Amino acid sequence: MMPGGRQRPVVILTGWLGCHPRNLRRYSELYDKLGWNSVARIPSPNSVVAAMTEGPPDVTQAQTGKNTAFTSLRESRKMSEIEKLALDTLEQLQILKCPYFMVHNFSNGGCFLWEWIKFILRQKPAASPLYPTIDSENLQKNLVGVVFDSSPCHYDAEVHTLLTALNYVSSKSMREKLIVRATSLSRQSVENRFHEYWNGLLTDAQDTPQLYLYSPTDHLSPCRELEKLIELRKGLFGERT
């Protein structure tokens, strides 16, 4: 709690594929020194592989009820694992009653989770009863920034980038199962999903400040395509300091 009894702001740390809570501890300690509480959220390796072919439906179409994927989701009430994690994260954020918050994404594992968090935040309660526990308008108002740390990764519809990332999964048996699953993914489905994912980040109409941290030596997140995305975002919203 801050001086005067005020609640501290919160940063949501969304972990990479193969990440463990201990790996995020140093980031939590850093934010703590800056006066922020942190909430760590790590998508399971299974959910990250699933996200290679499955993502949120188009927000605009979903709100008008024209998107068949969204309509099916609303009627069946069946959520993907990563969607449930996003919903749980926002529910906890509401319980904490922080004055404002930000999201710090690591690699595509974290960015896939951010996709769903963003999707839920963009839903208008009157138009979509899908998330009745979430005050999306108030949460969206309190979102002050998004950090992309070695993300998003431009994997160009190639599964080999995922296979490389799976080497960071510590459990050998799980890693082997996920490799088999990843190699069996339909290339067309992966390609369609990649374009949906990347275009959604390129053309996101929300002007929430964004910070990109990346390295030219990061082979999982090629900086050339990332810099193109950054320049496009600057063209849309300008550069903030």
User: pLDDT tens-digit profile of 137-184?
Assistant: 999 999 999 999 999 999 877 787 888 888 889 889 989 999 999 999
What pTM does this model have? 0.89
Side-chain half-sphere exposure of 71, counting CA atoms within 13 A? 6
Higher pLDDT, 59 or 120: 120
SS3 percent helix, strand, coil of the chain, rounded to 5, is 55, 10, 35
Cα dist from 8 to 38, 60, 130, 194, whole Å = 10, 33, 29, 37
Count CB-CB contacts under 10 A for residue 68.
10
Per-residue pLDDT tens over the stretch 67-94: 555 555 555 557 899 999 999 999 999 9
- Cα separation values, 60 from 84, 121, 143, 146, 199, Å: 21, 13, 20, 21, 14
CA 5 to chain centre: 31
Asked which of 69-78, 85-94, 121-130, 204-213 is least confident by mean pLDDT, the reply is 69-78
Angle value at C-alpha 215, between 146 and 207, nearest 5 degrees: 25
pLDDT for the residue numbered 132: 87
Question: Is the CA virtual torsion 197, 200, 202, 207 positive or negative?
Answer: negative
The whole-number pLDDT of residue 241 equals 58
Mean pLDDT, residues 57-66 taken together: 54
End-to-end CA distance of the chain: 27
C-beta atoms surrounding 14 within 10 Å:
29
17, 169 Cβ separation under 8 angstroms? yes
**pLDDT in the model for residue 63:** 47
Q: Phi and psi for 123 in degrees, rounded to 5? A: -75, 130
pLDDT digits (tens, 9 = 90+) for 26-39: 999 999 999 999 99
Is 70 exceeded by the pLDDT of residue 240? yes
As a whole number, the mean pLDDT across the chain is 88
Classify the phi-psi angles of 206: left when phi > 0, otherwise alpha if psi is within -120 to 50, otherwise beta: beta
Q: How far is CA 177 from CA 46, 180, 186, 205, 220, in A?
A: 10, 5, 17, 38, 21
Q: Is pLDDT larger for residue 185 or for residue 241?
A: 185
Distance CA 164, CA 2 (A): 43
pLDDT of residue 220: 83
